[in-house]
Structure formats: structure tokens, C-alpha cells
Amino acid sequence: MSYVGPDFDPPQPRRSRRGPLTVALAALVPGALLGWLVYEAVGGGGPEGSDRTAAPSSGSPSRTAPASPSSPSALSASPSSSDGDGKRPAKSPTAAASGPLKGKVVVIDPGHNLGNFQHTAQINRQVDIGTNHKECDTTGTSTNAGYPEARFTLDLAHRLRTLLEQQGATVKLTHDEGGPSWGPCVDERARIGNAAHADAAISLHADGSAPGNRGFHVIMPGSVHSGAADTREIVGPSHDLGVRIVGNFVRETGEPPSNYLGGGTGFVTRTDLGGLNLSTVPKVFIECGNMRDSKDAALLTSGAWRQKAARGISEGMVSFLRRS
């Protein structure tokens, strides 16, 4: 997701540059831990508002905030770990299996919606995020070859849901196939997690920054108390959730922490995102990589890698939900 700058570009001629991941996992984990020590020493993630800019586009709506007049979907379609695009029919809610997370509720928010670019009037309308007003939602970004962020996030959400349900959690998605063709708006996405009384919530994204900018980062809520927004009670637990996800994501995927945000720690704190500002439950965003970088794009478009990403996020969430 690119928060500032140009929006979703229409598919461009395919570039078949698929660079293999060359960073050894053994080197990444110590680096991430060192970055975290630096983060703790200075007392925070990247500077507030240090957003990135996607590649130029023409005339499509701005990138992301969630929106819609729909209610949460408690769906249980089980994704495979193949290289598919994650399209699976929506199923009726099913009872959570027994497991260590039985009784826990998780809300997964797949960033954007594939139909957003066809509903510019709806997603461009302003909604109140407490500190100010922002667009209801945005189109998201894409790889240079045209693989949309919205397709990536939905596939990843399906994979993550299956893993968490296997641990016994009740999992709800903010939207899924068969639902509204756009949105939901950012304020509605937050309300879905709140209404579910989620024990944890996560919004899934991929970035649209400049080529050469690589890596993932987790966005945590800053302290906000303005209008309808009051994050003071969730800042601490959201930080804990973010820390656990970062460590597990590095280990499972081998993807390095962002080299362009967060000072190499993998952590960024923001107070301008409606999905975080309006949440009353512990919640973070994760930008799993940069779709405009050829090396990251090769990973993000791989079903096998998306399964690793789902596993890393799941293990971080399980660790958080099982804490005493």
C-alpha cells in the first residue's frame, strides 16, 4: 500500500525479472534483533509521516483506506499453498476447531479491494478518522507486471485464516469474495474488529515504493486521543503484537526489514491511519514487501512465499494470543 503519491497503475507490459532472495536467513535474524535493540534505545520506529511514493500513474483513485456499508464476514474457506491467486468461494461460518487459541477472535483485514478502481466516487469520499478526514479507501498498488496488491492481500488473508483456525481461533475477514465490490472504508474496517471484540487484528498490505527499496515493516498505532479516535489503551498491546510478528516474519520468510523506513528495525509508528486510529482492539498493519522492486515482487507473486508469510504472521499472532 502506498499512502502518499500516485495511485494504482493499470497493468503494464510484463517484465520477467524474478530476482531470487539472496539474503541468508542466518544473517537476517541477528540483523533484525540488532535493529530492534536500536529501536528500543531511541524509543520508536520511523518518523511519523515518512511515507513513500508509488510510481506515477494516471487518473486512478488514491491508495488506501478501507470502506463500505457491509458487516464483517466470518468465513472459513481453506486456501492451499499453491501458486494460485487465492480465489476461493466464500463459505458459511464454521465452528472453530479445538486448539490453544480456542475462544480467541482474530480479525484479518485484506488491504484494498479489486473493485475499488471501478468505484472512484465511493472510495474517494472522505471519512472521519478522528484526527482528520481521509479517503474511504484507495486502489492499492501493483507489481510492474500488473499483479494487484488487493489480490495479494486477499490470498494472504485466506492462508493466514486457515493457519489460525487450525490453532482453534475464530477468524473474521473484513471483506472477501462474494462480498461488496469495493471497500470497505477505513472507518468500517476498524469497526468490524471492534464489533467482533477481537483479541487481535491485522491489516495486510504490500508497498508501492521506488525500485531498490526493499523489505517489510510493521506499522503500529501511536497514541491518539482526538474526536472518535482514542488509541491509548491499545498502544502497548499493539506494540507487543508487532514485535512478535516482526521476529517470526523474518525467520519464516527471510525477507529483510525495510531499508527505507523504520531505520532497519522493521517497525514504524503512525497516527494518520484510520484503521489504527479508530481501533479499540490491539491491531497492526504489515507491509510485506515492495511490489515495485523486482526482487520483492518475485517473492510477493509466489504462492510458496505467501505461505511462508502467512506462517510468520500466524506464529507471531499465536505467540501474542497465548501470552499470559
Look at residue 134 and tell me whether its pLDDT is greater than 50: yes
Confidence class for position 79, pLDDT limits 50, 70, 90 = very low
Question: Left if phi > 0, otherwise alpha if psi is -120 to 50, otherwise beta: which for 231?
Answer: alpha
Look at residue 171 and tell me whether its pLDDT is greater than 70: yes
Quick one: cell of 214? 526493499
Q: Are 16 and 301 in contact, with CB atoms under 8 Å apart?
A: no
Look at residue 5 and tell me whether its pLDDT is greater than 60: no
**What is the mean pLDDT of the segment spanning 70-91?**
37
Q: Architecture of 25-79+97-230+239-321 per CATH?
A: 3-Layer(aba) Sandwich (3.40)
Average pLDDT, the chain: 79
Confidence class for position 97, pLDDT limits 50, 70, 90 = low
Q: What is the DSSP string of 112-132?
A: S-TTGGG-HHHHHSEEE-SSS
* pLDDT at residue 167, as a whole number: 96
Burial category of 7 from C-beta neighbours within 10 Å (exposed 0-12, middle 13-18, buried 19 and up) = buried
Task: Locate the domains of the chain by residue range.
Answer: 25-79+97-230+239-321
By annotation, the residues acting in catalysis are: 287
Confidence class for position 98, pLDDT limits 50, 70, 90 = confident
For 44-68, write each residue's pLDDT tens digit.
Answer: 333 323 333 333 333 333 333 333 3
Q: How far apart are CA 241 and CA 200, in angstroms?
A: 8
Question: Does the CA dihedral 266-269-275-280 come out positive or negative?
Answer: positive
* pLDDT at residue 74, as a whole number: 31
For 253-290, write each residue's pLDDT tens digit.
Answer: 999 999 999 999 999 999 999 999 999 999 999 999 99
Look at residue 133 and tell me whether its pLDDT is greater than 80: yes
Q: What are phi and psi for residue 309, nearest 5 degrees? A: -60, -45
For 241-250, write each residue's pLDDT tens digit.
Answer: 999 999 999 9
Look at residue 34 and tell me whether its pLDDT is greater than 90: no
